[in-house]
Amino acid sequence: MDNAMFCYQCEQTLGGKGCVKSGVCGKTSTVANLQDVLIHELKGIGFYGQKNLEKGLKIRSEISKFVVDSMFATLTNVNFDPSRFVEYIKKAEEIKEELRNAVGEIENVPAEANYKAPETMKEMIEELETVGIMSNEKLDMDIRSLRELLIYGFKGMAAYAHHAYILGKFDEGVNNFFYKGLGATIDNSLTVEDLFNLNMELGKTDLRCMELLDAAVTERFGNPEPTEVLITKKKGPFIIVSGHDFKDLKELLEQTEDKGINIYTHCEMLPGNAYPELKKYKHLVGNYGGAWQKQQEEFDGIPGCILMTTNCVQKPRNSYKDRLFTTSIVGMPDCPHIEEIDGKKDFTPIIEKALELGGWQQDEPEKRIPIGFAHNTILSHANEIISAVKEGKIKHFFLIGGCDGARPGRNYYTEFAEKTPKDTIILTLACGKFRFNKLELGTIAGFPRVLDCGQCSDSYSAIKVAIALAEAFDCGVNDLPLSLILSWYEQKAVGILLALLSLGIKDIRLGPTLPAFITPNILQVLVEKFGLKPISTPEQDLEAILG
Ligand code: SF4
Ligand code: SF3
């Protein structure tokens, strides 16, 4: 169906302005418009949820889980299946009704809170002018910008809250902030300053959420250990696991034990190879491929299966569409989906398919890369690092992290890493690291020069390391010989950026381009308050940083 749409939530948005017919990511206008309706419903849920909280009423955990999950489903490259969004919208209507009834008669209800979604998908996708991002033409541009910044920060935080939920952890403070913040996006009394402060509050809450997730993951799977991961192919049937969900990886490892199937991680699942409770499975053999945007090429005609547990999924080519399985929040029309039933997932269909496909015919010559440098590992060597800094062996730290993406200009990160002097350390995390994690950048003071902290949520690890270093040197984080060079693509990076800014971290360089949803005025505030800058060239930026 070919309706109009508007989406500018990610870095690859059309022309740096907005996708208007279909998404550069492959999102159809149908899905984009359904996502707008869902987000609009969630704003109403936020409003009524907050009113419940103000009255001292408790909100059922299932409702908060729904808010988190459905919000996450709208993040870039997660769910492309229209029918799943219709289900979410219907459920959102019921929840809003429940919260409205619970709170009783109240005054000053914004019209948006009482929005009622149409019944059918056909009608829902015609709601662009009522609920779309640009539907209120009279809205002040800076207010819209800050509201959208908040919404995208929420999408990013929802991803982490979802992962923590799956591992049995949630935090009421985090959950409750969803209601407050979502409700605030339809509150016309809020000023630019109020909304700015709410964005900073989101940053702090996202940090709390990443901390919660870190605790959930390390309690379940242990602390990541320095590990040399195989990055070449091994002979035999295989399943590649992508996304961020280690619980899915663990369940699949259990169900494939002794079945003659090799399991590879892909993209953001790479750090899985470093967790004791995952690496103990001998058939978790290594990592396949690079970052998400290479998947259509790297999965083309592949003689094995792929399990997508979260973002980033791309529309598959016909050559592997029958062997790409989705689970959890991920959806792709025409691809098999594995549902959780009574708390368990049955991976039999993907296992059988992998065996039928037969896998690779021979081993490739082995190559390995080092991973497993999350906060526990780095901080257990804090004394060696501090001595190396004091002795002048380590002169500077760079945090080069964030998302990878398809647009040109991202070679900057490869070149930057290559050009960093040999007496510097690079901390990295998320999928942007695939731009340089296979380069031979050497070692320093007994450490690899590239210390891979893990997934994007392991920004928490990098922050913990930075704070510990600042304490050891008795200075502020901004006074450390540390520079942050970030790449963004989707909305988790938005949440992480807000987390860093909420800590007062200055002089972050951001690329490859700046978000389309940030207006010049808001950018000016970020520049003045935090010294946020766009990346330029590796040479110029290194010169500016190191002098
Ligand atoms: Fe466009 Fe990005 Fe939105 Fe996809 S998520 S429609 S690429 S702005
Ligand atoms: Fe990557 Fe999609 Fe952002 Fe978790 S997997 S960081 S882009």
CATH numeric code, 374-546: 3.40.50.2030
- CA 213/CA 334 separation, integer angstroms: 32
> Whose CA is closest to atom 5 on ligand 2?
312
pLDDT (average), residues 61-78: 98
H or E segment and range at residue 402: strand 396-402
Whether residue 431 has its Cβ less than 6 Å from ligand 2 = yes
> Whose CA is closest to atom 2 on ligand 1?
10
Whether residue 25 has its Cβ less than 6 Å from ligand 1 = yes
The atom number, within ligand 1, closest to the CA of 13 reads: 8
Asked if 153 and 202 count as a contact pair (C-beta separation under 8 A), the reply is: yes
- CA 69/CA 42 separation, integer angstroms: 11
The atom number, within ligand 1, closest to the CA of 11 reads: 2
> Under DSSP, is residue 475 helix (H, G, I), strand (E, B) or coil?
coil
**CATH class of the domain at 14-219:** mainly alpha
Matching fold, domains 227-357 and 374-546? yes
Provide the pLDDT for residue 370: 98
Residue-range domain boundaries for the chain? 14-219, 227-357, 374-546
Report how far apart, in Å, the C-alpha atoms of 79 and of each of 76, 247, 344, 365 are. Answer: 8, 19, 21, 36
Q: Using most ligand atoms within 8 A of CB, pick from 268, 400, 486 the residue to mutate for ligand 2.
A: 268
What average pLDDT does the chain have?
A: 97
> Under DSSP, is residue 225 helix (H, G, I), strand (E, B) or coil?
coil
> CA 214: distance to chain centroid?
14
Q: Is the pLDDT of residue 1 over 80?
A: no
Asked if 160 and 209 count as a contact pair (C-beta separation under 8 A), the reply is: yes
Whether residue 36 has its Cβ less than 6 Å from ligand 2 = no
Ligand with smallest separation from the Cα of 30: 1
Whether residue 313 has its Cβ less than 6 Å from ligand 1 = no
Whether residue 489 has its Cβ less than 6 Å from ligand 2 = yes
Whether residue 267 has its Cβ less than 6 Å from ligand 1 = no
pLDDT tens for residues 124-158? 999 999 999 999 999 999 999 999 999 999 999 99
pLDDT tens for residues 215-249? 999 999 999 999 999 999 999 999 999 999 999 99
Whole-number Å distance, alpha carbon 42 to ligand 1 midpoint, is 20
Asked if 11 and 512 count as a contact pair (C-beta separation under 8 A), the reply is: yes
Q: Sort strands 344-345 and 340-341 into parallel, antiparallel or unpaired.
A: antiparallel
pLDDT band at 409 (very low <50, low <70, confident <90, very high): confident
CATH numeric code, 227-357: 3.40.50.2030
Provide the pLDDT for residue 372: 98
pLDDT tens for residues 507-534? 999 999 999 999 999 999 999 999 999 9
> Whose CA is closest to atom 3 on ligand 1?
7
pLDDT (average), residues 435-446: 96
pLDDT tens for residues 295-307? 999 999 999 999 9
> Whose CA is closest to atom 7 on ligand 2?
403
For residue 12, give the amino acid letter: Q
**pLDDT above 70 as % of the chain:** 100
Whole-number Å distance, alpha carbon 456 to ligand 2 midpoint, is 7
Provide the pLDDT for residue 60: 95
- Of 402, 418, 370, the C-alpha closest to 495 is 402
Report how far apart, in Å, the C-alpha atoms of 156 and of each of 31, 278, 291, 537 are. Answer: 19, 25, 19, 28
pLDDT band at 266 (very low <50, low <70, confident <90, very high): very high
pLDDT (average), residues 69-78: 98
Whether residue 24 has its Cβ less than 6 Å from ligand 1 = yes
Whole-number Å distance, alpha carbon 450 to ligand 1 midpoint, is 31
Axis-axis angle for helices 192-221, 246-256 (nearest 10): 20
pLDDT (average), residues 398-426: 96
**Own/partner pairs, 256-261, CB within 8 angstroms, 24+ separation:** 256/283, 256/347, 256/351, 257/281, 257/283, 259/351, 259/355, 260/236, 260/355, 261/236, 261/237, 261/351, 261/354, 261/355, 261/359
> Whose CA is closest to atom 5 on ligand 1?
76
> Whose CA is closest to atom 4 on ligand 2?
456
DSSP state of 364: P
Report how far apart, in Å, the C-alpha atoms of 126 and of each of 6, 85, 136 are. Answer: 12, 14, 16
- CA 425/CA 388 separation, integer angstroms: 11
Read off the tokens for 330: 């991920």
Ligand with smallest separation from the Cα of 75: 1
Ligand with smallest separation from the Cα of 152: 1
Whether residue 267 has its Cβ less than 6 Å from ligand 2 = yes
Whether residue 245 has its Cβ less than 6 Å from ligand 2 = no
Whole-number Å distance, alpha carbon 293 to ligand 2 midpoint, is 10
pLDDT band at 408 (very low <50, low <70, confident <90, very high): confident
Whether residue 456 has its Cβ less than 6 Å from ligand 2 = yes
- CA 43/CA 47 separation, integer angstroms: 6
pLDDT tens for residues 193-224? 999 999 999 999 999 999 999 999 999 999 99
Whole-number Å distance, alpha carbon 286 to ligand 1 midpoint, is 31
- Of 456, 99, 169, the C-alpha closest to 312 is 456
Whether residue 27 has its Cβ less than 6 Å from ligand 1 = yes
Q: Is the pLDDT of residue 2 over 80?
A: no
Provide the pLDDT for residue 407: 86
